[in-house]
Chain A
Amino acid sequence: RKEVEQDPGPFNVPEGATVAFNCTYSNSASQSFFWYRQDCRKEPKLLMSVYSSGNEDGRFTAQLNRASQYISLLIRDSKLSDSATYLCVVNAVLGNEKLTFGTGTRLTIIP
């Protein structure tokens, strides 16, 4: 089983719609969780951190469910500029901390 699993998509969503991604992780000792965004042929960039209480940043909402070991990202009122690959990232503390990436979910917003 992969440490971090995501549905690769692609998700093709009309502009203005709401879209949700889920991500599951296998290591119950994982401490920190993130969503990164990667545009085509570019480097990944942090979209938002994910906290146990859930957090919101404008149109983006992230949730963490530790009991079920999954993370979600909700995008409301999607824009054309939201088209990208979204990477779920987990930090498992194993003596020396390192980030583990999911394979990413590709999102295309259709006009």
Chain B
Amino acid sequence: NAGVTQTPKFRVLKTGQSMTLLCAQDMNHEYMYWYRQDPGMGLRLIHYSVGEGTTAKGEVPDGYNVSRLKKQNFLLGLESAAPSQTSVYFCASSPLRGRGTEAFFGQGTRLTVV
């Protein structure tokens, strides 16, 4: 029962370093999302994908890039990390949209940029 798996779970980066967060889902879902969660801000959508090979910008896309080369994987990249990107990152997936369709979340990645 893997569901949505995120790696890594924790990471500390220095300002200017780059890294890639990996999200993998084994439920054959079409939609995948990357959110960040900050105190008092709730979950904010960074980028999302409606299918293999497609990506779209969310609410806060600046400083991030994504790729969806395989249906089951959605990668989030930080090219030059900044302290403002310190956050908890959640990946989610859902099947083709229908009324009441549930989104499933990974366990989160806690990223600190120093």
B101 interfacial contact with A, CB 8 Å: yes
A45 x B50 contact (CB < 8 A): no
Proximity bits, B87-110, A CB within 8 Å = 1, else 0: 000101000010111110111100
Report B47 CB to chain A, min CB distance, Å. 10
Q: How far does the alpha carbon of A87 sit from the alpha carbon of B105 in the complex, in Å?
A: 14
B105 x A45 contact (CB < 8 A): yes
B97 x A91 contact (CB < 8 A): yes
Which residues, 31 to 65 on B, are CB-close (under 8 Å) to A?
31, 33, 35, 40-45, 48, 50, 56, 58
Report B107 CB to chain A, min CB distance, Å. 5
A1 interfacial contact with B, CB 8 Å: no
B33 x A104 contact (CB < 8 A): no
A8 x B106 contact (CB < 8 A): no
Known: A43-B90, A43-B108, A91-B97. A99 touches B42 (CB 8 A): no
B42 x A43 contact (CB < 8 A): no
A101 x B103 contact (CB < 8 A): no
B33 x A44 contact (CB < 8 A): no
Report B3 CB to chain A, min CB distance, Å. 10
Proximity bits, A70-89, B CB within 8 Å = 1, else 0: 00000000000000000100
Which of A32, A98, A102, A104 has a CB less than 8 Å from the CB of B101? A32
A99 x B33 contact (CB < 8 A): yes
Nearest A-chain residue to B96, judged by Cβ: A97
A98 x B107 contact (CB < 8 A): no
Q: How far does the alpha carbon of A68 sit from the alpha carbon of B93 in the complex, in Å?
A: 30
Which of A41, A46, A51, A103 has a CB less than 8 Å from the CB of B103? A46
If A43-B90, A44-B90, A49-B102 are given as contacts, then 12 extra A-B residue pairs at C-beta distance below 8 Å, sorted by A number, are: A8-B40, A32-B97, A32-B99, A42-B107, A42-B108, A44-B105, A45-B105, A51-B100, A97-B31, A98-B33, A102-B42, A103-B42
A-side residues, CB < 8 A to B, are 8, 31-32, 34, 41-46, 49, 51, 87, 91, 93, 96-104
The 4 A-B pairs with the shortest beta carbon distances in the complex, nearest first, are: A103-B42, A43-B105, A49-B100, A101-B43
